């Protein structure tokens, strides 16, 4: 829906707030999602990757302790889907239909 997985990351990233970015600036934030690189928390008060990575939880579970998330990286135009432990602190974005 946002250009395929190889371009979706660029299309969802905010124009500013990233330490650095690849890709054409004109392609960023094409849908107004304005993803900011908040990084993540390990669930024990330590925070990592702010300014370089954005991790967003999905509403879909992989298992009772694991859920899917989308990963946006500063050096990659893709949006990658993976799964991880729910105890980690990733960003949440509520969207209304």
pLDDT band at 3 (very low <50, low <70, confident <90, very high): low
Residue 4 pLDDT > 90, yes or no?
Answer: no
Q: Which residues contact 14 (CB under 8 A, 6 or more apart)?
A: 28, 29, 34, 35, 36
pLDDT in tens, 7-46: 888 889 998 899 987 777 788 888 888 999 999 998 888 9
Whole-structure pTM value: 0.86
Cα(13)–Cα(49) distance, integer angstroms: 15
pLDDT in tens, 36-86: 999 999 888 899 999 999 999 999 999 999 999 999 999 888 899 999 999
Residue 2 pLDDT > 80, yes or no?
Answer: no
Tokens in use for 30? 């094409």
Which pLDDT value is given to residue 66?
96
């Amino acid at each position: 829906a946002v250009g395929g997985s190889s371009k979706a990351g660029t299309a969802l990233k905010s124009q500013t707030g990233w330490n650095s970015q690849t890709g054409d600036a004109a392609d960023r934030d094409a849908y107004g999602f304005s993803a900011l690189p908040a990084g993540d928390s390990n669930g024990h008060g330590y925070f990592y990757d702010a300014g370089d990575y954005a991790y967003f939880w999905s509403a879909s579970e992989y298992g009772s302790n694991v859920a899917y998330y989308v990963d946006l990286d500063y050096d990659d135009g893709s949006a990658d889907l993976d799964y991880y432990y729910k105890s980690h602190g990733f960003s949440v974005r509520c969207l209304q239909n």
